[in-house]
Structures are given as C-alpha cells and as structure tokens.
Structure 1
Amino acid sequence: MKALKIATFNINGLRARLPNLLDWLQRERPHVVCLQELKAPDASFPATAFEALGYGTLHHGQASWNGVAILALDAEPLESRRGLPGIDDSQSRYLEAAVHGVLVGCLYLPNGNPQPGPKFDYKLAWFERLIAHAAGLQASELPVVLAGDYNVVPTDFDIYNPRSWLKDALLQPESRACYQRLLDQGWTDAIRHLYPNERVFTFWDYFRQHWQKNSGLRIDHLLLNPILAPRLKDAGVHAWVRNEPHASDHAPVWIEVG
C-alpha cells in the first residue's frame, strides 16, 4: 500500500464553511476525507468545487441536518454501503466506500442530548447497529478504517474538565461502554494509540471562549482494524483550522498509513 493520509472532519454546515474546507484541502491534501454534518441535501452538494481540486466524491446528504460524504484525491470512491444494516433510518449518518485500497466507513453518530430521553435511546440503538456492523467488517480480510464524529468522549482524559459535562450524552457510561465494546472487537483508536499520555482535543464549542482557553473534547476518532493498524505511521489534529474565521467547532483529525 502506498502512503495515505486519511482524515475526518465534522464541517458543521457545508454551505456555510465551504471556503474553509477548500482552503484546508488545498493546504493539507489528504488522500481520503470523511465529512460529517453536511446539513445539505444531495442536490446541493458542491461536487464541482471538489473536482477542481482533484477530489472524487460520494455523498449521503440530508436537508438542514446530518449528512456524510467521502472525498478521494485523484480517485472515485466506490460505494459499498449507504446507511447501517438493520435500521430504517431517515437520518443520513453512515457511508462506506472502497478508496485507495482501504475500506472506509464514514460515520456521524447521534449526539443523544438531552438525556435521558428518546434522543439518547436513539443514540444507543444506532451505536448497537454500528457495533454489529463493525463485527462483520472485522471478519473481512480488508484494511478498514471507521472514521467520523462518534459523539463520545471515551474517558475523562479526553476532555478538559468533565465536571460541567457530567449530564451530557457524550460522557454517559452507556455511551462510553459502547465505544469500549467497539475497541474490544480489535479496533485501534489511532490517536490514543500513538499518543497514550497526551491530551488531544478535536472539538471546542463556541461558548465561554473554549477555543481560546483550549477547553476541548476528543470526540472525532479513526478506528483501524488489525490489518490496517500495523501500517499506522502518524496521526494528529489540524488545529489551525479551528482558528480560522467562521470555523467549524471541530478540527480535522488525520492519520498516515503506509
């Protein structure tokens, strides 16, 4: 396998932040990009803007909410799945494709707030379907990455201070238990694997100067199966993107494999 840079980025509104996204693509040139929270229907997806930069596209949009996409530099993503099996789901949250020799699952897991309540129940039900599907991917002989916004802070080490978030769905024991069950299947959390003792954040909300104070959370993850994990060379967060005008509250997270 040639060296590949694979990234995930919750853009938080594609139309509002397209200039930010194009600027990042031009500067960093990742080979594979998983996007979440497009908040746009397929009909308005700006494929030509990405094609002008050399990216083939695959998208699963939804008006006003959700939406995921996969971009591939100098290639066309080959779709293998749209939506998780076992869910009659009107929400666009999962897209899977073969890209540059890797099977890429792009996901936007439900937020689940407020909890308790139906939104949290939906989060856990969706997580169960993801766990079941991920088990099938583990049984394949393909290199696989599951990349996206998981809306889970895995441990207290992955947040600046858990005290004000104790009631949030992202920190609930049930959410964390589901994430751990994924890891127990044999998935490698790329960032935590390479930086076991370093606080790495991927999300800083817009309130109380959380970006300026580096009061962040790690909720965007790239999980690698045992075939791909030994090829992990590097990983990081393009935090500079969060500092740009009109930025998303997330920053792109990337890995290099080869």
Structure 2
Amino acid sequence: MKIASWNVNSLNVRLPHLERWMADSGPDVVGLQETKLDDERFPGAVLEQLGYRNVFHGQKTYNGVAILARGREISDVQMGIPGFEDDQKRVIAGTVDGIRIVNLYVVNGQSVGSDKYAYKLRWLEAVHDWIAAELKVHPEMVVMGDFNIAPDDRDVHDPEIWNDDHILTSTAERAALQRLLGLGLHDAFRLHTDEGGIFSWWDYRQAAFRRGMGLRIDLTLVSDALKARARASGIDREPRTWERPSDHAPAWVELG
C-alpha cells in the first residue's frame, strides 16, 4: 500500500496536477492539505470517477483536508480533534484496510512568540493527546501531513537562517514533534536515509526551488506496528516542476 501526503495549496487550482500525479504514481491512499474549498465545492464526483473514494473537511479560502482511497472504503471518519474547539478545518482521520490514517495540516504559527505561535503549540498538544488515545485503539497507524516543522538541521537548506528562533524550526516546535514521535511513531523518510538536503517545500519567492532553498516539512509517520512494513519512503519533486505548481511536493511511504 502506497500512502502519500500532499499540500496542494488550492485543490481548485491543482486538481489537474493531482489527476496527473495519481495517474503517474498510483498511490493507494492520499491525504490532501490546504484544499481551500468548502464541502459543497469539493470535487468528490471527479475523484470517484478516477477510482478514489474520498472524505473531506473543508472551508472556503483557507485550510481544508481530505483523504482519498483507491477502490477502498474509508470508515470510522473523524473530523477535527475531539475535545479541542477549533473553527479551522485542519484534521481528518479514517480507517483504510485496517490502517488508521490521520491527516494533519499543522498550524503555521506566523512567528515565534506570536498569538498564532501559541495557538500552534496548544494545537500540537491537543493532537498529541488525541493520537495517544487513538493508538490504543488503532495500533496500525500512519500520521501524515504538512507539519510546518522541519525535524532537524538536515531538513533545512541553511541552519543559520532556520534556527531555534525561527518559525518552523524553533526549539518548542521541534520538541512538540519529538513528543509526538515519542508515542511510538517513526518518521518513515528517516527509516531509509540519513541524507540531508532533501526537501518537500520551497517558497515561491527568490527562485527558491531552482536554488535548492527548501525545507522538509511534509512527513509520513508510521506507528511501531507498521515500522517493519515501511519498505520505502520518499518525496516526489516532479510536480513542483509543473506549471503553476503547489509550493509543496508529495511525501509518501510504501507499506509491504
């Protein structure tokens, strides 16, 4: 089973890219972030015609998440973090062939010390507690999404810029991610390589993609029960080269 995560940065704009990429790479399960569509406008029927069942949790202009599964039922769907009051549509979970899929669009946080940064840390704490409970019920789990956190200095193009005081790489954000991993989750990408300089996001500005100025902030995490089955993982840079691309590339893990 190939499971992928992609922040499409507007599904309305990027639907042709998604169709092309799914035809080329054949993922079995896809988690989308930043669909930026309210539920009435989600192209569920189009995706069904492509062979993908789908569930979604969206809002106009901002945020929005979805799970797509090729020819498979998506059951026990959860939208939002239980017990955490939040108007932003950032979380969706469902079970596909016995594997619990948790798809997250983590808060950006704006800048260290801001109100949005404090909200990000509260949000991550709520996610931690929820996933801790979910793992007791669903030991076979993949947690994926745009985490808006680069795990360590290998995952940034310039550690002098992306340092402890910078959003996406600050000490508190990285600690929150490590606390999540401490539940028994593993960064699938790092199960297969220690190499640095492989990124999933590049700013639209400053010709960042062409100059290799990126971050790895899109992650696929596998639970202890799936670790041995995670036989490959990577990032597909090709869609970032297409015309009018998302600023993110798909991250994926393949389970044997």
Q: Deviations over 1:94-151 (max 9, x none)?
A: 1000112211000000000033111001100000001111211232353100010110
Provide, for residues 39-78 of structure 1, a one-character-per-residue CA deviation record: whole Å limited to 9, x for no partner: 1100000011111110000000011100000000012311
Which of the numbers 195, 198, 221 marks the counterpart of 1:197?
195
Match of 2:55 among 58, 77, 83: 58
1:51 and 1:85 map into 2 onto residues whose CA distance is 28
CA distance in 2: counterparts of 1:7 and 1:235, whole angstroms? 9
Distance 1:164 1:141, change over 3 A: closer
Match of 2:229 among 228, 231, 241: 231
Q: Report whether the alignment pairs 1:109 with 2:109.
A: no
**Aligned AA for 2:6?**
F
Q: Which residue of 2 aligns with 1:144?
A: 141
RMSD between aligned alpha carbons? 1.2
Residue 74 of structure 1 is matched in structure 2 by 71
Please give the alpha-carbon distance, in whole angstroms, between the structure 2 residues aligned to 1:192 and 1:107: 19
Whether the 8 Å contact between 1:158 and 1:199 is mirrored in structure 2 is yes
Match of 2:212 in 1: 214
Separation in 1 of the partners of 2:17 and 2:166? 29
Q: Is the 8 A contact 2:100 2:138 kept in 1?
A: no
2 CA distance for matches of 1:114 and 1:183?
Answer: 24
Conservation of the 8 A alpha-carbon contact between 2:99 and 2:138: no
Q: Deviations over 1:169-211 (max 9, x none)?
A: 2011100000011112211100012112343211111111111
Match of 2:81 in 1: 84
Q: 1:248 — aligned with what?
A: 246
Structure 1, unmatched stretches of 5+, are none
**CA contact under 8 A between 1:141 and 1:227: conserved in structure 2?**
no
Superposition TM-score, scaled by structure 1 size: 0.95
Q: Provide the secondary structure at the position in 2 that maps to 1:199.
A: coil
**C-alpha distance in 2 between matches for 1:216 and 1:87:** 32
Gaps of 5+ in 2: none
**Per the alignment, in what secondary structure is the counterpart of residue 202 of structure 2?**
coil
Identity of aligned residues (%): 38
**CA shift for structure 1 position 157:** 1.2
The whole-number CA distance in structure 1 between the counterparts of 2:14 and 2:140 is: 31
| Corresponding residue of 1:169 | 167
Kept after mapping to 1: 8 A contact 2:154/2:195: no
- TM-score, with structure 2 as normaliser: 0.96
* Counterparts of 1:80 and 1:19, CA distance in 2: 26
User: Does the 8 Å CA contact 1:150/1:219 hold for their aligned counterparts?
Assistant: yes
